[in-house]
Structure 1
Amino acid sequence: MKPRRIAAAALSLTALLALTACGADSSAEASSSNTATLTIGDQAKTLQTIFAASDALKGAKYKVKWAEFEGAAPLYQAVQAGAADTGYSADLPALQALSGGVKIKNVAALKNDGTHVGIVVRKDSGIDSVKDLKGQKVVVSSAKGSIAEYLLANVLQQNGLNYKDVKVQYLLPTDAQAAFASGKVRIWATFGVYQAVGLEQGGKLLVDGADGRVSGYGFVNASDKALADPAKKAALSDFLGRLGTALKWTSTHQDAYAKAIQERNGADASVARTLASAAYGEVLPVDDGVNRTVQDVADLMNGIGVLEPNVDVAKSADTTLLH
């Protein structure tokens, strides 16, 4: 692995292993020593909340252990270290991990409308358009190669600006949130719950990822080591089917899902509703259309020096798990 690619999350391996050890096991019917155990990487309790609310793991013949992280960079460090079997992120963090030598394959695609990622500015910042970002410091969460960074790069390009026209600083979401709330950070490219909270803490949305400003794709990926284990591969294939069921449940039970986010993540009601409405809606095969769209993301980021070396997206997929 090339640590510089994904080390910006500032978590040591010891801390990663400690975080993983804190993950809770989901109930499964079988409990013998022969039962496969999947350690599923998660961010901000997203997948855990979906499965707990939908009860989609009921009857699984394997155990699920959750490895919880606040961003994609430390999650993929854990996968590389063998502390998690799977990753889960938007497209660009997965590309960054692949570029950095993390031995994973994309096993399923996820899709949403892109509104879960945005550039939030303080209402008193004087920033009213993307063109106003020229010469400004922009905090990007969580690390180099995040989906928020792709949104920033893409909208700058769409508005005739160069990526070098802004000064980028990388901060983990929790640190950026505290700095934004205090007014020390005025412009914040972020995602998910952090975007929603930023809007409640004196922020306004400058632009989000809708209308193709981000691809809207995310990935579930698995380590090469897990894929080489027949029991884990079979369990992961089943897990992906259950994830599809769970995501369909969230799209048809948004009020119940929002309540679960509120209860399990500590979000207030309005933030929970925002997150529920912006969630990934389905699990998709990693097909040619997905690969072409995400390859465009890779090529843009490679062109500005953020994704080096570039990634061949099609060659980074394992299409045998999702049926």
Structure 2
Amino acid sequence: MTSDPNRIRRLLTMLPAAALLGACGKGSGQQADVSVAGSVSAPVLASASVPDLSKVKLVLGDQVKLLRTKAEAAGVLEGIPYQIEWASFQGAAPLFEAVVSGDVDTAMAADTPALAAAAGGARVKVVAASVSSPTGVAILVPPDSPIRTVADLKGRNVIVSSARGSVAHYLLFGALREAGLKTDDVNTGFLLPSDAAVAFSSGKIEAWATFGSYQASAEIRGARVLRDGVGINSGIGVIAASDAALADVGKRAALADVLRRLALSNTWANAHPKEYGDVFQRLTGLPADVAKLAISRDRPQLRAVDAEIVRQLQLVADTFFEAKLFPKRVDASQLVDASLFQPA
């Protein structure tokens, strides 16, 4: 896709109308007549059907400011008619807790924590997806560790970030199974990434399953990758929204608009890694080499939730359920709302 900034600006000018039509038209019984040239002609929507976005505030859940840095670097949120508040978390587990409590409207996460939240009863829907490199999740060991293979983890202590059902937990489960081991062949503990990072760097952790900038930081300091996610993890990331937010007409319209803007920010960031990296480093405070490594593995394009995404989500959900790591089976087809987002 082109990285022409003029094209992005042109697309941005079209977003509010497109988002309102897509979000408000669902189930309203109203028809939109769109001309060939792309301008909207009457009848469009009854005025009562179009919410006043100036009164809407979205609280967008983020992890390590990944969404926010792209959006701010690309400038895609300039001139929005609604309010945005960012809420950044260390991991997906506390992020989904905030969604469940109603403090946050959306969650950006990998596939497994979104599925884990749904299995735990969270009332959320996956509204958009992306695919990144599975190298962005790994099982790490200290550089001088005698552990050379996953099979060597038998009887060892392994820390997983950040909770049961995380993308790192799925990697550990898959890697153990691949090596012919059972989950109870290792002693598994769970820690938030920042706490685990301190323990790992001080030599208190034999092996650590982690992801993203935490993984990159440890690798820069010499940690050895025992097994990354290639061949195990799907690399699917999702943006999920609470059922409550989706049921609110104003928030639904604003979310439809912001998703299209975030899609443009991904396109821009992938085409401008240096500029994006500078903003990412400034907002996160990470060292330059850590920031560069982390974002080199995070080059997704936001995409609609299609049948292939649903199939892969179902595969992950069934794997965890059959392993008794989920309390109930998740029907991925019922977890998605594919009506809200279609890429420009």
TM-score (structure 2 length as normaliser): 0.82
Amino acid aligned to 2:215: Q
What pairs with 1:137-156 in structure 2 (closer than 5 Å)? 137-156=157-176
* Residue number in structure 2 paired with 1:290: 309
Looking at structure 1, the residues matched to 246 and 101 of structure 2 have their Cα atoms a distance apart, in angstroms, of: 15
How many percent identity over aligned positions?
A: 43
Q: Partner of 1:115: helix, strand, or coil?
A: helix
Determine if the alignment matches structure 1 residue 262 to structure 2 residue 262: no
The reply on whether 1:45 has 2:90 as its aligned counterpart is: no
**Which 5+ residue runs of structure 2 have no aligned equivalent?**
1-15, 17-51
Alignment partner, residue 203 of structure 2? 183
SS in 1 for 2:55: coil
| More divergent stretch after superposition (188-197 vs 151-160) | 151-160
* Structure possessing the higher radius of gyration over alpha carbons: 2
Q: 2:253 aligns with which of 220, 227, 234?
A: 234
Instruction: Write the distance in 2 (CA, Å) between the matches of 1:67 and 1:174.
Output: 17
Residue 135 of structure 2: SS of its match in structure 1?
coil
Kept in 2: contact 1:107–1:219 (CA 8 A): yes
Task: Provide the aligned length of Structure 1 versus Structure 2.
Answer: 292
CA deviations on 1:22-69 (whole Å, 9 max, x unpaired) are xxxxxx9xxx99431110011111111111111111222211101121
AA aligned to 2:339 is: T
Give secondary structure in 2 for the equivalent of 1:283: coil
Q: 1:62 aligns with which of 82, 89, 92?
A: 82
RMSD of the alignment, in Å?
A: 1.5
Q: Distance in 2 between matches of 1:301 and 1:132?
A: 23
Per-residue CA deviation, residues 103-124 of structure 1 (Å, 9 max, x unaligned), is 1000011111111111111112
- Give the corresponding residue for 2:227: 207
Q: What are the within-5 Å matches in structure 2 for residues 272-291 of structure 1?
A: 272-291=291-310
Shift of 1:174: 0.6
State how 1:114-193 maps to structure 2 within 5 Å: 114-193=134-213
Q: Secondary structure at the match of 1:284?
A: coil
2:214 partner SS:
helix
Query: Take 1:280 and 1:144, find their aligned partners in 2: how far apart are those partners?
Result: 26
The structural deviation recorded for 1:270 is 1.3
Structure 1 CA distance for aligned equivalents of residues 205 and 263 of structure 2: 38
If the length of structure 1 is used for normalisation, what is the TM-score?
Answer: 0.87
CA deviation after TM superposition for structure 1 residue 185, in Å = 0.8
1:307 matched to 2:334? The reply is no
How far did residue 151 of structure 1 move? 0.7
Equivalent residue letter for 1:278: R
8 Å contact kept, 2:54–2:81: no
